[in-house]
Amino acid sequence: MGILRHSTALAGALIISSLASAEAADFSFPPQPVVSVPTAVPVPEYNNGWYVRGDIAYGLQEDPDLRQGGANFNNEKLDDTWGFGAGFGYIFDEHFRADVTVDYRINADVQGVNTATGDLYETKVQNTVVLANFYYDVKSRDGFTPYIGAGLGFSHNETDTLRVFAGPTQIGIVDGEGETALAAAAMAGFSYHLDGGWLFDAGYRYLYMGDAKTGSTGAGVTNQLGIDDITAHEFRFGLRYEFR
């Protein structure tokens, strides 16, 4: 009887041990939770920095208004001319930049006929234009970047000797004079990336340069000749170099 009890106890222990081993073999820890890592947002790369520029322009000049005392003029004409300029600027981000430019515009002939006397008035005018310009660059594509812009500054307008003719005969002469006037511009164009920091720039600029005048006293001339509202449609091209 005692042997039977011991045998039964031993058998039970063996059964319990087998069940525990089997349960332990089947047990596994639950999988670790998957943590979603947000995708990094790329930071845009802007070409911030300074640049320099040089430009050549051809200006189609609008006919000005001439005035001398109470006289009226017709057949007013201001010849087209070339200009050369340089400047420096700063790129703020991918869209906005600004620069300061100085342009020297070659002497252009001015003439008009006094409607009362029929006398022909002839002189020349030269402009030196200084502008602070602001631009908006549209998004680049395949190296091309269209832009629009506006400028504000001043123009120093210098006249040459004024000559007055009655037919082929010169009847009056007076020295030229300089005057500084408000200048403004509106522009549109594009740049094209060439290599490294070099860009080709081409565009159109409407340029307002204010007024000019001659001297007031000379041989046969007693009143100053005014040249009002000097404006030009310029077609410009040049190079920019960006310091990156």
Give per-residue pLDDT as tens, 203-224: 999 999 999 999 888 777 778 8
In a domain, 111, yes or no: yes
pLDDT value for 44? 47
- Of 199, 203, 209, 207, whose CA–CA distance to 230 is shortest? 209
In a domain, 35, yes or no: no
Helix (H, G, I), strand (E, B) or coil at 138: coil
In a domain, 124, yes or no: yes
Q: Is pLDDT above 60 for 128?
A: yes
Domain tally, the chain: 1
65 CB-near residues (< 8 Å, 6+ apart): 73, 76, 227, 228, 229
Which amino acid does the sequence have at 116?
A: A
pLDDT value for 45? 54
Domain of residue 197 covers 49-242
* pLDDT tens digits, 163-217: 999 999 999 999 999 999 999 999 999 999 998 999 999 999 999 999 999 988 8
pTM of the shown model? 0.79
Mean pLDDT, the chain, whole residue set: 87
Asked whether the beta carbons of 132 and 152 are under 8 A apart, the reply is yes
Q: Which residues pair with 94 in a beta bridge?
A: none
In a domain, 23, yes or no: no
Rounded distance, CA 95 to CA 113, Å?
49
| Other CB atoms within 10 A of residue 93 CB | 11
Share of the chain above pLDDT 90, in %: 71
Element (H, E) at 5: helix 2-26
43 CB-near residues (< 8 Å, 6+ apart): none
Rg of the chain over all Cα atoms, to the nearest angstrom: 41
- Of 114, 118, 148, 149, whose CA–CA distance to 223 is shortest? 114
- Of 158, 155, 154, whose CA–CA distance to 215 is shortest? 158
pLDDT tier for residue 110 given thresholds of 50, 70 and 90 = very high
> How distant, in Å, are the alpha carbons of 61, 130, 140, 150, 218 from that of 105?
11, 11, 32, 19, 27
Asked whether the beta carbons of 202 and 165 are under 8 A apart, the reply is no
Q: The CATH number of the domain where 236 resides is what?
A: 2.40.160.20
In a domain, 189, yes or no: yes
In a domain, 97, yes or no: yes
- Of 73, 164, 56, whose CA–CA distance to 114 is shortest? 73
In a domain, 25, yes or no: no
Rounded distance, CA 219 to CA 239, Å?
47
In a domain, 142, yes or no: yes
Rounded distance, CA 64 to CA 77, Å?
7
Helix (H, G, I), strand (E, B) or coil at 164: strand
Interstrand relation of 169-174 and 178-195 (parallel, antiparallel or unpaired): unpaired
